[in-house]
Structure 1
Amino acid sequence: MDRLAALLADNGGTLREVTATQVLLAEASPRVHFQEFTSAEEAEAGADWMWWWVDRDGTCFGLLAQAKILKVSGRRWTVDFGYMTKGHSQSQITKLIEAAEPYSVPAAYVLYCGDRKYRATMECSRTHRGVLCRDRERVGVSVACALVAQEAAKFHQNAAGVEVFHDAVPVEDIASPVEGLDGPVHSLVRELDEELARFLRQPQRGARRVAKELLRPLERIRLGQFAGAATLERPALTAGALFQNVPADRGHFSVPYLDHVLRGLRTGVPDYVRDVMEGRTPSAGMANGLGGIVVITDADALG
């Protein structure tokens, strides 16, 4: 993907979201299973692809993702999170979050960010393990929760793209990173269910790791919000969710952030995901409004 982005940039071209997704999945196959739905209407759904990480024991994590390009104009780096669909009053990011509701999964962005040469002029002074944000390895294709993007668009405006890039995690190693064990996630909610508290405190792999890494920047943002005490109110239960006792703490986010992410972490594989894994076409209803479905199997074995 980095090579393609660099080649296009060197010749004055621009990598486009649909092309980037097709190339990424073609290169990852057969390690990654996918089905593309040609009838998808992105403008209507505000969404692109459903992504699922599936562990060997059947535990899985899903999200509804919109593909976006990290673009540069002069020295300004942007991601078009505030795009307004023609004829609609809502931003595309708001529609993406709403579109994830019927599937009971979180909304996210898959960011195509080019290679180091492409990002060389990006101004982000923060570091990752001592390496400048723009110089990180494997971040050419990264993922971030849509709630992170929504907060960045609200408070950082033109710098939102860089803020979200900093919090995004490389898709290549989000399930089983090469840099060792993940650290704990610190929650503002002090009276968490013990199973959930242990999940946040201890290292994870596979589908559990993906959910934890998407949640990590949200908890950091929540810790910085002056929104009063974290509520222990419980949201409606998600069938098959790994955690059934999740606080509905909202902070200043548009939806309860813990539930938004953790509802996508399931104890068993949904039927439409199983269809893709076994080479069958999911029902016509699943194809409506989706660009396709991506399934990463044995996510806990990747490394």
Structure 2
Amino acid sequence: MVNMLDAGHIWHEEAATQLLLSTAQPRIRFKKFTVNEEKEDGADWLWWWVDRDGTSYGLLVQAKILKRKGKRWSIDFTYKTKGDDRTQLSKLIRAANRFEVAAAYVLYCGDPEYRATLACDRTHGDALCKERDRVGVSTISALVAETAVSRYGKDSGVAAFHDAVPVEDIANPDSLDTPIVPLARGLAEDFDRFLRQPQTGSRRVAKELLRPVQQIRNGQFAGAAVMQRADPVSGAFFQDIPNDYGHFSVPYLTHMLRGLRADAPDYVRDVLEGRTPPAWVTDHVGGIVVIPDADAPSTTAGRIAGGVERLILLDSPDAPQPLRDHPGQVA
């Protein structure tokens, strides 16, 4: 992104993906398919974290650029395909149902110089929002984007950027993991413990993606949280959570946490063990990329060895890839 800016141009997600894949091989493994479902699904990839014990968290992800035009900053969450009245955002949230995961965005936001005129005066610790470290490639739940659009309209890009979490930080064991305080009371013991106690690996990722969503819900004038229990999702880590909507379009706890699994889905295992996933997966993704934890040995004999593996299923052959290499780690 910085190189393109230095050359006087904006970056493009497709070019960044091609550069990353060609440069990172053979460290990462990837395979492309011919299907392109982005028009229908509004998504670029299906993204999984897989722990050594099989605990996994999945997201259906669309990549977006934080764009500037004069003094206006925007992210086109409400983009519509010609001849289709549905927004890409609404299609993304609906399409996540196919894989029973959360819908999310990865945001390409440039460097601090690019963001110098961004009008967000809120802070993150001691840093202004626009000056945060590592925020050039960040992620948010689609529910955060949905709320930003309904509250701020054309200024939704700045609001969403403020709530976005750097990709490196969502699984960072060194960053502060403060409790999430829900509105609902009488939660199941395992779910309450997840919210209030520090987490690692896939559980940490799920918690950090949920955090901004829960903060938005806590600020909504939608009455007390609904205590009715949601229908359990087969294989989900938590089977007893409230069916609370707040002002979101879907029950937010179910949506955000259905992708947290005690075991990786079979099609994820297929990829890790060298098999081709079934047609219902390959018909809806344009490629598969497996990125192992930098400190972990390679996966062998069907086992997930050491640390966390990050599995990304690209939904378009040219879909953007948000991860950036740093010395000693894969971001």
Query: What SS does the aligned partner of 1:109 have?
Result: strand
The residue number in structure 1 matching 2:191 is 196
The separation in 1 between residues aligned to 2:20 and 2:154, in whole angstroms, is 28
1:212-234 CA deviation, whole Å, 9 max, x = no partner? 01110111111111111111222
Are residue 103 (structure 1) and residue 80 (structure 2) matched?
Answer: no
Match of 2:254 among 251, 259, 276: 259
The separation in 1 between residues aligned to 2:14 and 2:257, in whole angstroms, is 28
Query: What SS does the aligned partner of 2:267 have?
Result: helix
After TM superposition, give the deviation of residue 84 of structure 1 in Å. 1.1
The residue number in structure 2 matching 1:158 is 154
Query: What SS does the aligned partner of 2:115 have?
Result: coil
User: Is the 1:83–1:92 contact (alpha carbons within 8 Å) kept by the matching residues of 2?
Assistant: yes
User: Is the 2:291–2:309 contact (alpha carbons within 8 Å) kept by the matching residues of 1?
Assistant: no
Query: What SS does the aligned partner of 2:206 have?
Result: helix
How many residue pairs end up in the alignment?
298
- Range 18-27 or range 118-127, more displaced: 18-27
Larger helix fraction of residues: 1
User: Is the 1:81–1:93 contact (alpha carbons within 8 Å) kept by the matching residues of 2?
Assistant: yes
TM-score, scaled relative to structure 1: 0.92
The residue number in structure 2 matching 1:242 is 237
Question: Which blocks of at least 5 consecutive residues in structure 2 are unaligned?
Answer: 293-306, 311-328
Are residue 146 (structure 1) and residue 142 (structure 2) matched?
Answer: yes
Query: What SS does the aligned partner of 1:160 have?
Result: helix
Match of 1:181 among 162, 176, 183: 176
Are residue 119 (structure 1) and residue 115 (structure 2) matched?
Answer: yes
Question: CA separation of 1:273/1:95 partners in 2, compared to 1, >3 Å: closer, same or farther?
Answer: same
Question: CA separation of 1:175/1:104 partners in 2, compared to 1, >3 Å: closer, same or farther?
Answer: same
Query: What SS does the aligned partner of 2:89 have?
Result: helix
The residue number in structure 2 matching 1:52 is 48
The residue number in structure 2 matching 1:229 is 224
The separation in 1 between residues aligned to 2:161 and 2:28, in whole angstroms, is 24
The separation in 2 between residues aligned to 1:148 and 1:135, in whole angstroms, is 21
The separation in 1 between residues aligned to 2:23 and 2:197, in whole angstroms, is 33
Query: What SS does the aligned partner of 2:112 have?
Result: coil
The residue number in structure 1 matching 2:213 is 218
Query: What SS does the aligned partner of 1:98 have?
Result: helix
The residue number in structure 1 matching 2:267 is 272
Question: Which blocks of at least 5 consecutive residues in structure 1 are unaligned?
Answer: none
Amino acid at match of 1:143: T
Amino acid at match of 2:131: D
TM-score, scaled relative to structure 2: 0.84
User: Is the 2:290–2:309 contact (alpha carbons within 8 Å) kept by the matching residues of 1?
Assistant: no
Question: CA separation of 1:199/1:250 partners in 2, compared to 1, >3 Å: closer, same or farther?
Answer: same
Question: CA separation of 1:36/1:164 partners in 2, compared to 1, >3 Å: closer, same or farther?
Answer: farther
Question: CA separation of 1:181/1:107 partners in 2, compared to 1, >3 Å: closer, same or farther?
Answer: same
The residue number in structure 1 matching 2:320 is none
Question: CA separation of 1:262/1:38 partners in 2, compared to 1, >3 Å: closer, same or farther?
Answer: same
Query: What SS does the aligned partner of 1:207 have?
Result: helix
After TM superposition, give the deviation of residue 29 of structure 1 in Å. 5.3
After TM superposition, give the deviation of residue 260 of structure 1 in Å. 0.2
After TM superposition, give the deviation of residue 201 of structure 1 in Å. 0.4
The separation in 2 between residues aligned to 1:172 and 1:125, in whole angstroms, is 23
What's the C-alpha RMSD, in Å, of the aligned pairs? 2.1
Amino acid at match of 1:235: A
The separation in 2 between residues aligned to 1:202 and 1:30, in whole angstroms, is 38
User: Is the 1:109–1:143 contact (alpha carbons within 8 Å) kept by the matching residues of 2?
Assistant: yes
The separation in 2 between residues aligned to 1:224 and 1:149, in whole angstroms, is 16
Amino acid at match of 1:88: D
Match of 1:78 among 49, 56, 74: 74
The residue number in structure 1 matching 2:321 is none
Amino acid at match of 2:62: Q
Amino acid at match of 2:33: F
Are residue 6 (structure 1) and residue 9 (structure 2) matched?
Answer: no
Question: CA separation of 1:157/1:294 partners in 2, compared to 1, >3 Å: closer, same or farther?
Answer: farther
Question: CA separation of 1:25/1:193 partners in 2, compared to 1, >3 Å: closer, same or farther?
Answer: farther
- Range 83-92 or range 13-22, more displaced: 13-22
The residue number in structure 1 matching 2:281 is 286
- Range 167-176 or range 138-147, more displaced: 167-176
